[in-house]
A = this chain, B = another copy of it.
């Protein structure tokens, strides 16, 4: 594989959200259960949108589509465990008519300086596809303009080298990388 498998740091993403762990997140191996990462990614994305929309309200509140998960994936590099505080970094790697794709990483909460952040280790990387649907028919519908503006503000640049930008191919490459490293 000629492409490098470097995982971006939390601070290379346009959005960063601090989050916390719960006692019940630790499974019997004493580390965060794998499903918990998806709860945290979901929370980061939905909390961020909710917060941004408040500052950028919907002109027509009645017309409020919902975002359902069409696809998710996570690659786990290092263990995390309660009572750690964590930081999630994420951005939008693809913005379609009714769907949006996120690239996310999660790690221990780091200091506030970019230098400190850059040094902190990414424990897992996620991939997330939300599809906006009509709440009644539950069929895909166009992403509303006010949400689209929020999502567009978090776009990750697409490029050929391995930066956070390359989210669309992420899962496949991560799979490959993980396979070569663990086996």
- Enumerate chain A interface residues (CB-CB to B < 8 A): 19-24, 26-31, 33-36, 38-40, 42-43, 46-47, 50-51, 66, 68-76, 79, 82-83, 96-99, 127, 129, 131, 138, 140, 164-165, 167-179, 181-183
Chain A contact residues: over half helix, strand or loop, or mixed? mixed
What copy number does this chain have within its complex? 4
Contact A74 B72, CB 8 Å, known A24-B35, A34-B38: yes
Asked if B47 contacts A83 (CB within 8 A), the reply is yes
**Which of B34, B66, B72, B169 is close to A69, meaning CB atoms less than 8 Å apart?**
B34
Give, as a whole number of angstroms, the nearest-CB distance from A153 to chain B. Answer: 19
Asked if B46 contacts A178 (CB within 8 A), the reply is no
A70-B178, A70-B182 are known; give 19 further A-B pairs, CB within 8 A. A26-B27, A28-B30, A29-B68, A34-B38, A35-B35, A38-B38, A51-B83, A68-B76, A68-B79, A71-B174, A73-B127, A73-B171, A79-B138, A98-B183, A99-B179, A140-B182, A171-B171, A172-B172, A175-B181
CA distance A168 to B21 in the complex (A): 29
CA distance A156 to B54 in the complex (A): 40
**Would you list 16 pairs from A and B whose C-beta atoms are within 8 A, ordered by A residue?**
A19-B20, A22-B43, A24-B35, A24-B42, A28-B29, A29-B66, A38-B38, A43-B83, A70-B178, A71-B73, A71-B170, A71-B171, A172-B181, A175-B177, A175-B178, A179-B181
Give, as a whole number of angstroms, the nearest-CB distance from A109 to chain B. Answer: 13
Asked if A71 contacts B70 (CB within 8 A), the reply is no
